[in-house]
Structure 1
Amino acid sequence: MPTFLIQFAQFHEEFRLPELLSLAQLEKVDIKYDEADYKHIFELWGEGETYEQVHTQVKKTSDRWPKYNTCSFKFNVRAFGSTIDHKEQLDIINSFAYLGFEGPIELKNPNVQFYVLADYGFENEKELEAPRYIYMGELIATGSRDLINKYNLKKRKYLGTTSMDAELSLVMANQALAAPGKMIYDPFVGTGSFLVTCAHFGAFTLGSDIDGRQIRGKGKSGVHTNIEQYNLQGRVLDALVFDICRNPWRTQPWLDAIVTDPPYGVRAGAKKLGRHDGKALAMRTYDGVPMHTREDYYPPTKPYEMSEVLVDLLSFSAQHLVLGGRLVYWLPTVVDEYSNTDVPQHPCMKLISNSEQNFGQWSRRLITMEKVKEFDDSLLLSDSEKTEIMEKGTEDPKRPGHYLFRNKYFNFGRSTTENDRS
């Protein structure tokens, strides 16, 4: 059985293995790994601590060589944590002359490329004269890093304060197993970043938000502008306006994935229908006309605390995802207060991965969950049960790091200023 070496992009490293495993599941490939958006994938021909060890292994693969005998080819030498000058690169390439390939050497568009990868360790380590480990193999796949440039926010025609970075949007689409024919939904759609990236991979996408202003945009620009920019009209179905707590969907499994960035009150606060004074919504009239029928009517809303948002999001996912469907979302937290037990749980949902993007005092975690059990009405939560989950551990252990996250976030700057003054 062949062995493969995967070179990851050196950015957002913590997200790479979960993304790779998601893609492997999507393509029905069984992966066993020792180490964990890849950059390159190589089929290994040889590896070792010295070039002699590498050559010994490569010479044992002579049954593969005739396949490449007349192909155009190219050899590449790459170093990690150091540099290899041009003369040494040529010496390394020439040391593989025993392969005996008779095809032309083609530097621009060869039929096949071979790589020698020399690992010198981390750049901040003491510079080494010889590599710590060496790999030699055939390049068999290159990651779609060009998509990051294609969906770069700097090139997008319509943006908002909550528009998600293109690379992370693509990572989330991969972890959601976005693929042709799947139905993917974003209940906090904002400017529609996830609609675009999930649709790129062939999925049908749909979004909603309680605030239609970001969806509609201003003037001629709105979510529809980005859909047209990327020519995704046939896959992005629509973006609707309603409160997810009072959604119009039938309670049945119909979604293959839910991909979202719940509002945590930093750049945009979460809202739901209701009144600040706690009074129930009731029919109101003005000059005898029902208020909700007026064109200028805007329904009253109240703050939607982050802990409550997450409890409702998991419950919604358990009800509307198909078995095997995935929920992919961001969980904000205070670094010093976070514990793995903070990640909300549901009897129908299984945690697949939890990766951190650290910003210093706070971070956000990309959470991927999979539906593993059918939902039934016995799993519906009462208001008191929701409150208990939201405020779990009010004494010992403490509340989850994301509880009242907005207040904590805006206290960071205040406490820093106070420390500076003292």
Structure 2
Amino acid sequence: MPFYLIQFAQSHEEFRLPEFDSLAVLENVKYNYAKDSYKLDSPYFKVELESDDDARKLVKRSILIKRIYELWGEGSTYDAVNDQVKANKDKWADYHYTSFKFSVSAFGWTLTAKEQLKIINSFSYLGFEGDIDLTNPQVKFGVLEDYGQTTTHVEGGNPPSLKYVYMGRLVASGSRDLVQKYNLKKRHYLGTTSMDAELSLVMANQALASSGKLVYDPFVGTGSFLFTCAHFGSYTLGSDIDGRQIRGKSKDRGVKSNIEQYNLQGRVLDSLVFDVTRNPWRCDDWLDAIVTAPYGVRAGAKRLGRKDELKKPLQERSYEGVPMHLREDYYPPTKPYEMSEVLKDLLEFSAKHLHVGGRLVYWLPTVVDEYSNTDVPQHPCMVLISNSEQNFGQWSRRLITMEKVKHYTTSSSSLENADTPKALGHYLFREKYFSFGRQQQDDEKKDV
């Protein structure tokens, strides 16, 4: 298989390879790569693919891939690169008379226009006779220099040592423009739990969202995941215990207004209000994916019930002769829903309601110093596909992707976890999160 070079965006580094792997599964693309070819501190990733068509399939909806090139030459020096390019003359023939464009980019350093032109001219031996077209060329070529991530630019200083160089033909570009389309700054209605567009789109890719699939968010909030999964063709459905976020503050500021903004009326089916632990679903194996963020740091997760179970039952309480639970303005009482219990119920729900092969993609919040890989809840019907961290200092959130591998039975309903709840990095996460600021203030007082 020929070699291709992927140029990743240098952001969300831990999420890039899981998204790539998920898109390969979705598009049924075969690939190979050396274990040491992927590095978090480099945007370049060398892979083997069967054809240009497979390369296009892989990146056409990718969020974290910027471009993919057919690799013509590589090396630690330009002499090594040129030797490889000259040895692959059979690749040149199709582009001898086409219009073309050359571009030069560098990671870890900034090249002047003069330096870029000198590099482009060094490939004049290719002998292309087509027109140079900087606007709409028939073929584009790229030279990509890698100086490494630790490079710091010193005004007037000497350039760093060049680590590696790649040269190739551009095959396709990713879909990073979608990040701007779903940018929260442009969204009509937002809430405190709205997930940023880039990661919402990555989650849709890892969930394998595609045309005709049914995707569900049991903690829907303001519906961010409904929109991105629907963008890729899925039918989406959500629910939440609190309908106020779904309805919004007015008729023109709610989840429905966002659906209209993105013209997704035919794909976002609805958002319902109920406690997912007392859900109305009466069938199993009916969902293709579950995509969700089952935590709320500010408001906290809730479930139906009372903090004080000793209070008089509602059926025995009334106001002006009308039982409380029959009043039109009645709102059922809720109680805190501890994170370890939320995740336990989420995995049980997913194992029961996903198709075999369906995916669960969710955010796991955790305290960095207390986290262990054994904290990630396991289930006999589910296997872990990826675990990617977004670090915020003292705490982080992890994007967990799991896949259902066998049918749910009563005997497989127990969850597996190596630790007891109190040892988990996400146990009582909300309380720990709000203690970070108080702890910092206390430390500062001690220093004084």
Taking structure 2 as the reference length, what is the TM-score of the superposition? 0.88
Match of 1:260 among 270, 282, 292: 292
In the other structure, the counterpart of 1:209 is 240
Q: Kindly tell me: are residues 57 and 198 of structure 1, through their superposed partners in 2, closer, same or farther at Cα, counting changes over 3 Å?
A: same
Shift of 1:373: 1.4
Aligned residue for 1:46, secondary structure, equals: strand
Q: Please say if residues 390 and 403 of structure 1, whose CA atoms lie closer than 8 Å, have aligned partners that are also in contact.
A: no
In the other structure, the counterpart of 2:259 is 227
Aligned residue for 1:19, secondary structure, equals: helix
Which amino acid in structure 1 is aligned with residue 175 of structure 2? S
Matched, 1:246 2:278: yes
In the other structure, the counterpart of 2:301 is 270
Aligned residue for 1:63, secondary structure, equals: helix
Matched, 1:348 2:381: yes
In the other structure, the counterpart of 2:411 is 378
Shift of 1:323: 0.9
Task: After superposition, give the CA deviation of every residue in 1:15-48 in whole Å (9 maximum; x if it has no partner).
Answer: 1111111111111112322333211111101101
Structure 2 alignment gaps of length 5 or more: 39-63
* Alpha-carbon distance between aligned partners in 1 of 2:28 and 2:310, rounded to the nearest angstrom: 52
In the other structure, the counterpart of 1:102 is 129
Which amino acid in structure 1 is aligned with residue 443 of structure 2? N
4+ residue runs over 6 A deviation: none
* Alpha-carbon distance between aligned partners in 1 of 2:96 and 2:236, rounded to the nearest angstrom: 47
Task: After superposition, give the CA deviation of every residue in 1:209-250 in whole Å (9 maximum; x if it has no partner).
Answer: 000000011122110010000000000000000000000112
Percent identity between the aligned chains? 69
Aligned residue for 2:115, secondary structure, equals: helix
Matched, 1:53 2:84: no
In the other structure, the counterpart of 1:165 is 196
* Alpha-carbon distance between aligned partners in 2 of 1:275 and 1:87, rounded to the nearest angstrom: 71
Matched, 1:369 2:367: no
Q: Indicate the larger mover: 12-21 or 92-101.
A: 92-101
In the other structure, the counterpart of 1:200 is 231
* Alpha-carbon distance between aligned partners in 2 of 1:45 and 1:198, rounded to the nearest angstrom: 36
Shift of 1:251: 3.6
Which amino acid in structure 1 is aligned with residue 279 of structure 2? N
Shift of 1:288: 5.5
* Alpha-carbon distance between aligned partners in 1 of 2:344 and 2:315, rounded to the nearest angstrom: 29
Which amino acid in structure 2 is aligned with residue 116 of structure 1? V
Alignment RMSD (CA, Å) = 1.9
Which amino acid in structure 2 is aligned with residue 379 of structure 1? S
* Alpha-carbon distance between aligned partners in 1 of 2:255 and 2:120, rounded to the nearest angstrom: 51
Shift of 1:392: 3.7
Match of 1:183 among 203, 214, 228: 214
Which amino acid in structure 2 is aligned with residue 271 of structure 1? K
* Alpha-carbon distance between aligned partners in 2 of 1:9 and 1:278, rounded to the nearest angstrom: 52
Shift of 1:207: 0.2
* Alpha-carbon distance between aligned partners in 2 of 1:318 and 1:186, rounded to the nearest angstrom: 15
Aligned residue for 1:41, secondary structure, equals: strand
* Alpha-carbon distance between aligned partners in 2 of 1:296 and 1:227, rounded to the nearest angstrom: 28
Q: Indicate the larger mover: 216-225 or 279-288.
A: 279-288
Q: Kindly tell me: are residues 124 and 66 of structure 1, through their superposed partners in 2, closer, same or farther at Cα, counting changes over 3 Å?
A: closer
* Alpha-carbon distance between aligned partners in 1 of 2:116 and 2:161, rounded to the nearest angstrom: 13
* Alpha-carbon distance between aligned partners in 2 of 1:211 and 1:79, rounded to the nearest angstrom: 49
Matched, 1:406 2:439: no
Shift of 1:393: 3.2
In the other structure, the counterpart of 1:237 is 269
Aligned residue pairs: how many? 412
Matched, 1:145 2:172: no
* Alpha-carbon distance between aligned partners in 1 of 2:408 and 2:20, rounded to the nearest angstrom: 29
Structure 1 alignment gaps of length 5 or more: none
